[in-house]
Structure formats: C-alpha cells, structure tokens
Chain A
Amino acid sequence: MIRQRKLLLSALGVLLIVLLASFQYSRRIREYRSEHFLMDTLISIKVYGRNQEVLKKAVAEAFAEMRRIAELADGFPQPGTAAYGSSDVCRINAQAGKQPVMVDNDIMAMLELAKKYHHISLGAFDVTIGPLMELWGFGGEAPHVPDAHSIQAALARVGSDKLVLNGHERTAFLTKAGMKLDLGAMAKGYAAEKAIWILEKNGIEKALIDAGGNVRTLGRNVHEAPWKIGVKDPRKSAAVTAVLQLENASAVTSGDYYRYFEAGGKRYNHILDPRSGYPAVRTMSATVVTKDAGLADILSTVFFVLPPEKALETAGKMSGVEVFLVTADGRILHSSSLKGRIEVLPGDSYRYDQGR
C-alpha cells in the first residue's frame, strides 16, 4: 500500500515538474524583431523581454517616432507632394533668404546640436552643406567633379553661422537665398536615440537598433554579455576590421565606401569638407563609440573630416567619447580608453600598432 502510494506520488511529481517546466518555458525571455525601410535605408530593431505584447507595442511606437522624425528631416521631397508638406527641412529651405520658419521641437534640438558641434569641430561639421551636396550630385544619378568656380559659388551659400535659431519662438532661418539644409549626417542617429528612449520608457531592458549601420544598444544581450558589434572593413565587403563590446552605447561609422564615385583614378566619397568643398580623403572609416546615438552620428562625420591625429586628440578631450579610425594610408588608430572593449583584426590589409 505504502509502496503504491510512493510510486503514485513520484509519478505525480514528474508530472508537476513537467508542468512547471512548461510554465517557465512560456515565461522565458523572448526576442522580437521588426524592420522597416526608412530614411533611404533598412532600420531594424531587436528587443528582448518576457511579454510579447509589450515588446510589439514598444517597437511599433519606436518605429512611429523614427518615421515622424524622418519625415520632418527629409530634404528630398519636391514641392507639391505630401512628403514636402510634412517636412520642416523643406519648409526651411523654401524660405531661405526670406523669413524664419517655425519648427518641431526635435528639429530645433537637432539644429541646436548641429550649431554646437559646428563650432567644436571648427567647421568640419555643417548641416548647411546642402548646396555643395547638390552640386556634386551625390544624391542623384550623375555625380561628378565640379569645377573650382562652381565650388566657390556653392561655398558662398554654405555656413552654419548663417543659420539663425530662435529658441523662444522655435524658429530657424537660413539667412541667405539659395542655402539648403541637409540633415543626412545626423538624422539617423538622432532618430535611433529617440527610439531607444521610447523602448526604455516601455520597460524594455535589452535592445539593439541597427539604423542602416548606426548601431545603438540598450543594456546587455540575452546572455548578459555585452553586445558584439563589428566594425565593417572599409575595403573588403564581408569582413570586419574590429569587434566592439558595447553595453548601453552607440557605434556609428562614417566611411568613404558607402556613397562614392571614381573619376580619373581617384575616389570621391560623399563626405565633403565644408571648408574646402571637396571630399575628406585622409580617412577611410571613422567609428565613434559613445552613449548617445545622435552625438555618435555627428561625431563620426566630424572625426572623418578632421585629420586622424586631430580626431583622436579631439575625442580624447570629450568625456565618454571614443573613436576608431582606419586612415587612408592603411593605419588603424583608436582611443586608448577603448582597450579592453575592442578586438582589432587588422589582417593583412592594415597596420595596427598596439601601442596606440
């Protein structure tokens, strides 16, 4: 009798364990991924949590916000289209040399950041670079090397000092006719940072946003380890030059391999130095590691345009900012504080002096 009861109990015990295990299984941390095409590129968001509904809702909200910012910051739409009407940048450009335009809070924040870093970078970063970009034709089908005269003419219409912002009225004014804003060097990062803020607001603790190569991580990965983020090799298509370990940080790269054309045996990339009017050519790729994705996006352009040694020096003066560079002559340089969080893979192509 007792033996029977013992056996029955053990059988029930096994059943209970199975039930408990399946309950635990249903409460496990899951992944939810979603992707959308925005700002001319693929944006993907990966989040982790126990409640699938919460994950879905948070990601949808994040994408909605990214879409809103993308529409406000889009300088490409033509007059008469719906997209033109919802773009603050288009309106600002339309009123260049005429009058100030009232703008959305986020556009205001972006423009204020842009002016701040324009000064810090001694002019290497400039969102009023629109006329120059148009002249070179990087957005379109037939990019070409403009003659020196056209470049000088375009440069006359470039200069963030000619962008007047009024915080009280929330207006932006391009004071000279023919000026054009181009927020391409900072919009993706800024949008990604807002998206992360929304995910955090929804209680999410682990997430990764890949906005066309702008990476922003939240927390650690599912295995409680830092996220492993590769830095794309500027010359080899499926290889990485380094692997970063990030926790609650962003990694954004500016490179000369994304949009460029070749003419007369030389490569002309789309990251122009606003001071000279020509592409910056001393660096092949500049990757910035810092918490804020908007800042990382801005600084990646800054550190790409500045000469490599100057870029390292400037990064060193900023707290919480680190940079990884692959110079045009094949050297790998990076902030010394990145040691311990980076694994450099120079391979046969690049020279890496560990002393850096």
Chain B
Amino acid sequence: MTSQGTRRMVFMGLLVALATALHVVEGMLSIPLPVPGVKLGLANVVTLLAIYLYGFRDGLTVALMRVLLGSLISGMFLSPGFMLGLTGAVGSTMIMALLLKHTTCFSMIGISMAGAAAHNMGQLLAACLILQNSALIYYLPVLLLTGIPTGIFTGVLLNSLISQSEKSGMLNDLVRTSP
C-alpha cells in the first residue's frame, strides 16, 4: 500500500472512532421528542469531513460504521433505533455528498444544515414506516428546526478547519490526489 493509502486508512480509522464517540455522546443527551433515537446530528461533522477529503463512498463508510459501532456500544444494535440511525445517516450522507461535489454555491454551513435536515427527515420517515402510520408528521417542523442550529454550528467548525488547513497545508497529505 502506498504511504498515502496507509495514511488514508489510519485517518479513516480515526474519523470512524470520532464519529462513533460523537454518536454515543449525542445519544446520551435526551431530547424531549417522542421519536426515539432522534439525535441532533452532531456526528455528521465527521461524515462531512470524510466526504470532503475522500469522497462519497468513504463518507458513507464512516457514516455506516458509526451507526453500527455506536449502536453496538449503546446496546441498541438491530433495534428500531438502529434502523432510524441508518436511514438518517444514509440520507444525510447522500445529500451532503451531492451538494459538495455537484454544487459550488454552498459553503460547509449550508451543506451541513442540509445534512442535518436530511438526517432528521430520514429518521422521521423510518419511524413512520415502522409504525405504518403517518401521524408522526406532527413532529416534522420541530425536527427541521432543531437541525438548523446544529447544522450551522458544525458547518462553521468545518469551515474554519478547512480554511486553517488551506493556509497551513495541514490536510494536503491526507487528501486523495486521484479522482
């Protein structure tokens, strides 16, 4: 394996660990909403970083790994909460990758807001499907609104991280040069 490939693998490992930790900690902050497993979406910051550095596929890997590991750790493996986490993670990863790679008008802030919104929407959709009832749509506005501040917060963090690294060339070693 090339030294760059090794570096990538190591860094990916770090990202997964970080995302999982965030996922578990987030799970412990109890949000007073009756849709179980609904999270703020902070762990998305890591997913977005992975997409930025390595592309959609690796971003998806990080997302799926964090849901898997996170659920194992918090004892929710294969539970319906796990399903919600999956749909949320997949939905947000897809949206964020789409926006990052195919548009230039959004900054990390916009992308992470979209990701947080997609994350919560995905969870809501999964919950409705499991219960075979669309009544939960009552919570749609709240879920959208809570996604916004976390999206902004994580976006700002990523923005500053990236502009810092652009100056210092910090992340250049990690970014895949081949398309």
CB distance from A22 to the nearest CB of B (A): 11
Q: Are B160 and A18 interface neighbours, CB within 8 A?
A: no
B95 interface residue per 8 A CB criterion: no
Which of chain A's residues have a CB closer than 8 A to the CB of B159?
A: 7
Q: In whole angstroms, what is the CA distance A10 to B160 when docked? A: 11
- Provide the bound-state CA to CA distance between A7 and B152, in Å: 11
Among the listed A3, A4, A8, A14, which residue makes an inter-chain contact with B153, where contact means beta carbons less than 8 Å apart?
Answer: A14
A54 at the interface (CB under 8 A from B): no
Residues 160-176 of chain B, each 1 if its beta carbon lies under 8 Å from chain A, else 0: 10011000000000000
Verify B156–A4 contact, CB threshold 8 A: no
* Residues of B128-173 whose CB lies within 8 A of A: 149, 152-153, 156-157, 159-160, 163-164
A14–B160 touching, CB < 8 Å: no
Q: Are A8 and B152 in contact (CB under 8 A)?
A: no
Cβ-defined contact, B149 with A4, below 8 A: no
- In the complex, the answer to whether A10 meets B163 with C-beta atoms within 8 Å is no
> How many angstroms between the C-alpha atoms of A11 and B160 in the bound complex?
10
Report the interface size for chain B: residues with CB under 8 A from the other chain. Answer: 9
Interface residues of A in 6-28 (CB under 8 A from B): 7-8, 10-11, 14-15, 17-18
Count of chain A residues near B, Cβ 8 A: 10
Expressed in whole angstroms, the minimum distance between the Cβ of B21 and any Cβ of chain A is 20
Cα distance, A7 to B154, chains bound together (Å)? 12
Give Cα A14 to B109, complex, Å: 13
For A7, what are the chain B residues with a Cβ–Cβ distance below 8 Å? 156, 159-160, 163
Whether the pair A3, B163 counts as a contact (CB closer than 8 A) is yes
- Chain B residue numbers with a CB within 8 Å of A4 are 160, 163-164
Interchain CA distance A7-B156 in the complex, whole Å: 6
**A11 to B152 CA separation, bound complex (whole angstroms):** 8
Nearest neighbor of B152 in chain A, beta-carbon distance: A14
The answer to whether A11 touches B157, judged by C-beta atoms less than 8 angstroms apart, is: yes
**Which of B152, B156, B157, B159 has its CB near the most chain A CB atoms (within 10 A)?**
B156
Residue numbers in B under 8 Å from A3 (CB-CB): 163
Complex interface: chain B residues within 8 A of A11 (CB): 153, 156-157, 160
**Residues of A bordering B, CB below 8 Å:** 3-4, 7-8, 10-11, 14-15, 17-18
Known: A4-B160, A7-B156, A17-B149. 17 other contacts (CB 8 A): A3-B163, A4-B163, A4-B164, A7-B159, A7-B163, A8-B160, A10-B156, A11-B153, A11-B156, A11-B157, A11-B160, A14-B149, A14-B152, A14-B153, A14-B156, A15-B153, A18-B149
Residues of B whose CB lies within 8 Å of any CB of A are 149, 152-153, 156-157, 159-160, 163-164
Q: List 8 A-B contacts (CB under 8 A).
A: A4-B163, A7-B160, A7-B163, A8-B160, A10-B156, A14-B149, A14-B152, A15-B153
> Lowest 4 CB-CB distances: which A-B pairs, in order?
A7-B160, A11-B156, A14-B153, A7-B156
